[in-house]
Structure 1
Amino acid sequence: MCGRFALIAPVDQVREAFNLMDGPIGMSAHGVGDIFKGYAARYNIAPTQPILAVAQAPSRLPGSNLPDRQACLLRWGFLPAWVKDPRDFPLIINARAETAQEKASFRAAMRHRRILIPASGFYEWRRPPKESGNKPQAYWIRPRSGGLVAFAGLMESFASADGSQLDTGAIITTAANEAFRPIHDRMPVVIEPEDFSRWLDCRTLEPRDVQALMRPPPDDVFEAIPVSDRINKVANMGPDVQAPVTAVDAPPAVGTSGKSDDQLSLF
């Protein structure tokens, strides 16, 4: 599961990391001007909010050296095109890597609209045993080397009865790697930079051709920092939500005899 994440990198770093061309793109193409206008660091991105995504750009002239990716804004909450009334459809923020190819909700997007979702990291909650009486402990999960990661995502455009269109998206998750498993059994699929073009190529590559990319990241990619329950409230949007705290009922460090050193001890 991935229910909160952050994107706090400067805009130039995002553009460079994903080799983005200028201008907006969207399934309904209703954006106007630079998609990064008003861009700001976001420390607590929640479902139903707009999220930045990266999609394959339209076809270019042969031999062109222009960037082949464009940014788009989506609502985090996937709506299949066949849904008639969103009020009768559950909010889908994640798609399971193991079943996305076959599920009716995601089948078309897996074939035609694979995207990347830039992130500086994500949040997850470790739920202690009920008998402990402790509250879930939130963790800020960030790349150990800093910088950005790219979550695998899916995009779909929903057309309402009144003719308006809404671009929506979901983050693909997979079984947790060994290092992350003490916190949660699911984690986002991370696409490596060398695989960006392969993942986004929906013109020539079918879902079966990218299935191998939907795997857990290596154990040493992320580090986990316990943070306060301020992250639970969407209204808390400042950098203080990432301030380290002492973990309550912290799990033992992976590969140790059971001794925990709190911050960063899981990875």
Structure 2
Amino acid sequence: MCGRFAQIDTREKYLESLRPDVEFVGGLDGEPVGRYNVSPGTRVLLLNQREDKLHLDPVLWGYQPAWAKEAGRPPLINARVETAASGRMFKPLWTSGRALVMADGWYEWKKDPDNAKIKQPYFIYHENKEPIFFAAISRFHPDALDAPEDDGFVIVTAASDKGLVDIHDRRPLVMTREASLEWLSPDTTPERAEELAKDFVIPADEFTFHPVGKAVGNIHNDNAGIIERIDNPAV
């Protein structure tokens, strides 16, 4: 986790759900984002705060600093909350690149315990079907005419628990509304951000899931049918 997610609703709906207490810069139309199958390596709307204003910027999902590229390491799309704040790769992003990914849910593949080749995708979302916000860390230059090659972001993940561990042992870090807003603030220290990520996470039992078709496995499939429940899942 997390390798695919859905960013479907309108920008306005996401911001109304988050209820930010700082000004948002940019236009809000009634058009849904309409991405049912967001995949790594694509640009994703990333909510971030610069000084005292919120911005939405299209940022590449994936992070590969120059030294990692030279070493032949592939781009990373997730960062483990247990190590992101202190590790060489992500510490700079944790300090000054915290952001949120607006989402309606995410996908995980459950493996058959007797045959690892058999996998069944599930769509996971909040029980009230309201928007959720993944904690993310990023490095990007919104005002640059030519963005550096190592600009990008990763989604922060935490260990699954309760029912979600049956689907996958990791899940995106989704914090409470208040904690998410504090996470965004440039005034929040890296140490405080660690506290938020540890102590203000929405519990797993507030999420639910259902099986979906295997069409989600193809990034070219991106329509409302992707998230529909199917009968008789393989696992």
Q: Fold-level match, TM-score > 0.5?
A: yes
- Please show how residues 1-267 of structure 1 align to structure 2 within 5 Å: 1-18=1-18, 19=20, 21-23=24-26, 40-59=33-52, 68-80=53-65, 82-83=66-67, 85=69, 88-129=72-113, 131-132=114-115, 135-157=118-140, 164-165=147-148, 167-203=151-187, 205-215=188-198, 217-248=202-233, 250=235
Whole-angstrom CA distance in 1 between matches of 2:62 and 2:93: 14
Matching residue's letter, 2:91: R
Give CA-to-partner distance per residue, 1:201-221, whole Å, 9 cap, x none: 233x32221223224531322
Give CA-to-partner distance per residue, 1:77-119, whole Å, 9 cap, x none: 0133x54747933120000000001211100010111111110
SS in 1 for 2:112: coil
**Greater percentage in helix:** 2
Matching residue's letter, 1:214: A
TM-score (norm 2): 0.86
State whether residues 110 and 121 of structure 2, in contact with CA within 8 Å, keep that contact through their aligned partners in structure 1.
yes
The structure number with the bigger radius of gyration is: 1
State whether residues 35 and 71 of structure 1, in contact with CA within 8 Å, keep that contact through their aligned partners in structure 2.
no
SS in 1 for 2:182: helix
Give CA-to-partner distance per residue, 1:174-207, whole Å, 9 cap, x none: 100212011111000002111123211233x322
What RMSD in Å do the two structures reach over aligned CA positions? 2.6
SS in 2 for 1:240: helix
SS in 1 for 2:74: coil
- Closer/same/farther in 2, CA of residues 168 and 247 from structure 1, 3 Å limit: farther
- Closer/same/farther in 2, CA of residues 87 and 247 from structure 1, 3 Å limit: farther
Unaligned runs of 5+ in 2: none
Matching residue's letter, 1:155: S
State whether residues 98 and 138 of structure 2, in contact with CA within 8 Å, keep that contact through their aligned partners in structure 1.
yes
Whole-angstrom CA distance in 2 between matches of 1:241 and 1:181: 22
Shift of 1:242: 1.1
Whole-angstrom CA distance in 2 between matches of 1:245 and 1:134: 20
Whole-angstrom CA distance in 1 between matches of 2:68 and 2:167: 37
State whether residues 107 and 122 of structure 2, in contact with CA within 8 Å, keep that contact through their aligned partners in structure 1.
yes
Whole-angstrom CA distance in 2 between matches of 1:183 and 1:69: 34
State whether residues 79 and 156 of structure 1, in contact with CA within 8 Å, keep that contact through their aligned partners in structure 2.
no
Return the structure number with greater relative CO, CA threshold 8 A, min gap 6. 2
State whether residues 2 and 172 of structure 2, in contact with CA within 8 Å, keep that contact through their aligned partners in structure 1.
yes
State whether residues 137 and 247 of structure 1, in contact with CA within 8 Å, keep that contact through their aligned partners in structure 2.
no
State whether residues 9 and 147 of structure 1, in contact with CA within 8 Å, keep that contact through their aligned partners in structure 2.
no
- Indicate the percent of aligned positions where both proteins have the same amino acid: 27
State whether residues 79 and 157 of structure 1, in contact with CA within 8 Å, keep that contact through their aligned partners in structure 2.
no
Shift of 1:73: 1.3
Unaligned runs of 5+ in 1: 24-33, 60-67, 251-267
Count of matched residue positions in the alignment of Structure 1 and Structure 2: 226
Matching residue's letter, 2:59: L
